[in-house]
Structure 1
Amino acid sequence: MISNKKTKIIATIGPSSEKKEILEKIILAGADCIRLNFSHGNYEWHQSVISNVRSLEKKLKKNIAIIADIQGPKIRVGIMPKEGANIQQGEKIVFNCDLKEYKGNEIPLPSQMFKGGVKEGDVVFLDDGTLSVKITKKLGSKFEASVLKGGFLFSNKGINVPSIKITGSVFSDKDKSDVKFAVSHGADYLALSFLREGKDIKEIRSLINNSQIKIIAKIERPEALANLDGIIEEADVVMVARGDLGIETPMWELPIRQKEIITKVREKMKQVIVATQMLDSMIRNPLPTRAEVSDVANAVYDSTDAVMLSGESASGKNPVEAVEMMRKILEATDSNQTYSRVPEEMYDEPYIYLSKSAADVSSELKTKAIFVKTQSGRSAKSISSFRPQNTVVAITQDEMVSRQLSLVWGVLPILIGKKSIKKIDDFVLPAVSILKKENLIKSGDSIVCVYDHKFESPNKTSANSISIKTV
């Protein structure tokens, strides 16, 4: 049940994977986190998926983080014919911002941002850049365009206009309602789209008050790249959202941007995700291309914490197989990787020195694992940042923390009971019992234990002691 991969898998749920039996297979195949895209589906659908995930967590005895991905100022096509509309290169087409459904050969584009921000001469990309057009004339709510790159256009596909400027809040009333729904229904992470600066994250933090939910900042626009340091400072996790980023910035620079973002996030000892088109051909085919396999492996070599499947698991023909393939690539690559270390200028608190020592001691003594008692997840994340050779077993009494740690590289979260912990064995033995059942540890193995030696101090959130223990 427990994979030996260290890089985590996020699987997006949609029509291909929404049934509970398929969802179970996806989790068994290696998914650590489930993503719900709030650009699609209604609250009843999202609630159903959340309930199924929580039910499967109990059945499979595995912590699963739920990520609520908030739409933000994404422009989308309205309702198109089921078979789509075939727009051909050189053809003249019309977008109508007053329409919600396809009518009279006019493409519905119900967006005030598009209506007010797009100008004649602007190039518009549709469906992650698969199609593109150039605006030739603006007539009130209608825009005439010449097709530069054609193909079939379907309902609700995304539209990118790199030249458009987002003014005011990036969050609509729908976004704020979606945030409140996600928080009240137990999501573990909020993924925020099309951020411009750290201030956008602060706006959402003021909305969720003291919720434990963590924030993932998606890097998708040129403004976000320009303000990357401030966004990293405010976020808990950063996502390299390559779909929109590869349209909003030159595609040929995308590998450079990916490495730059990962390096900066890692330097701040935070978690990072690489997303979009990682195994895209598996939407249609049973096997990925060799280039896609190399792309996933390259993200691991860049030191990402997690990789994400989007259409592959949400709407593709092979959702379970895509997760299985991702897991196999990660298992092979994780075992053949040498990671960069955290810069010494980040060693500004005692628990960080302790984390480095735990990783070094475990590697030098070749212990089976590092056991860390954690209340907030911070100590486990800190140890993970040093990319130890062995698994970080994060033992917590907080259910939400245990789920959130499912996203963190190399961390195996274990939730134990609420009973009082007064000595090392009170948190080590329950975890050992679980790992023995999974054949991940056996009697005689040595482990590194990291903990706060003042067990009676419930407000303590940083570990301050290390010991070596034989199981």
Structure 2
Amino acid sequence: MKTLKIFSTVAKDQVMRRSKTKIVCTLGPASRSIKMIEKLLRAELSVARFNFSHGSYEYHQETLDNYRVAMERTGILCAVMLDTKGPEIRTGFLKDGKPIKLAKNQEITITTDYSIEGDQTMISMSYKKMVKDVKPGSIILCSDGEISLNLIICDKEHGLVHCCCENFAVLGERKNVNLPGVVVDLPTLTEKYKEDIFEWGIPNKITLSLSPLF
């Protein structure tokens, strides 16, 4: 009962302050200890984000347990966000698993055959409908936007896209891909999303959940 009274007092105080800016922090390897979470709470953390694109249920459960201990110790309430692995496009594997160097103005071909191991002349991407959805002049961003590819030719017959690299960069395996301005035809509610919600989110009474969309 004492803990609940503390929580109630702190919650009322937080409402009275009515801060207009919220702080969302991802709890990862460097921020998941009880001690570190206590520091974050005292620094007015608003929402703790759990990134389900990485980590096992056991890993996230341990983090959540630490989070709740930290809230109890500090008497500070904070929301929990479950950020699920939504629909995504990724580059494929590379020959010998080695990153490739891309030069500015270098031409490179993209195939939608995900079994192809890429090299400096061709890489694969996981989106089968890419050739139908993009067009000459489209931009393809890889690795959190670090690599920008300008589309030159779409070869729909062979499922190939020919591009020109707009900057010097190094591409590793399985990097994320974004298609600005393209309506991507991927399922919004994936099986992984449902599993994360029903197997972990609901049992742990998570405040809210998100699934990234294109």
Alignment TM-score, normalising by the size of structure 2: 0.70
Greater relative contact order: 1 or 2 (C-alpha under 8 angstroms, separation 6 or more)?
Answer: 2
8 Å CA contact 2:49–2:80 kept in 1: the answer is: yes
**Counterpart check, 1:55 vs 2:74:** no
Q: Secondary structure at the match of 1:125?
A: strand
Cα gap change, 1:170/1:53 in structure 2, threshold over 3 Å: closer, same or farther?
same
Equivalent-residue separation in structure 2 for 1:100 and 1:187 (angstroms): 38
**What is the number of equivalent residue pairs in this alignment?**
195
Corresponding residue of 1:191: 210
Corresponding residue of 1:13: 27
Query: What are the Cα deviations for residues 213-248 of structure 1, in whole angstroms up to 9, with x where unaligned?
Result: xxxxxxxx6xxxxxxxxxxxxxxxxxxxxxxxxxxx
Corresponding residue of 1:123: 139
Q: Secondary structure at the match of 1:112?
A: coil
Q: Which runs of 5+ in 2 are unaligned?
A: 1-9
Corresponding residue of 1:146: 164
Q: Which runs of 5+ in 1 are unaligned?
A: 195-220, 222-471
Corresponding residue of 2:192: 174
8 Å CA contact 2:148–2:167 kept in 1: the answer is: yes
Equivalent-residue separation in structure 1 for 2:66 and 2:97 (angstroms): 29
Corresponding residue of 1:457: none
Q: Secondary structure at the match of 1:190?
A: strand
Cα gap change, 1:166/1:55 in structure 2, threshold over 3 Å: closer, same or farther?
same
Alignment TM-score, normalising by the size of structure 1: 0.35
Q: 1:119: Cα distance to partner?
A: 4.2
Corresponding residue of 2:82: 68
**Counterpart check, 1:77 vs 2:91:** yes
Cα gap change, 1:166/1:57 in structure 2, threshold over 3 Å: closer, same or farther?
same
Equivalent-residue separation in structure 2 for 1:168 and 1:109 (angstroms): 14
Cα gap change, 1:125/1:31 in structure 2, threshold over 3 Å: closer, same or farther?
same
8 Å CA contact 2:111–2:125 kept in 1: the answer is: yes
Deviates more, 1:105-114 or 1:78-87: 78-87
The CA RMSD measured in Å over matched residues stands at 3.5
Query: What are the Cα deviations for residues 292-315 of structure 1, in whole angstroms up to 9, with x where unaligned?
Result: xxxxxxxxxxxxxxxxxxxxxxxx
**Counterpart check, 1:86 vs 2:101:** yes
Equivalent-residue separation in structure 1 for 2:58 and 2:116 (angstroms): 23
**Percent sequence identity over aligned pairs:** 23
**Counterpart check, 1:134 vs 2:150:** yes
Cα gap change, 1:54/1:165 in structure 2, threshold over 3 Å: closer, same or farther?
same
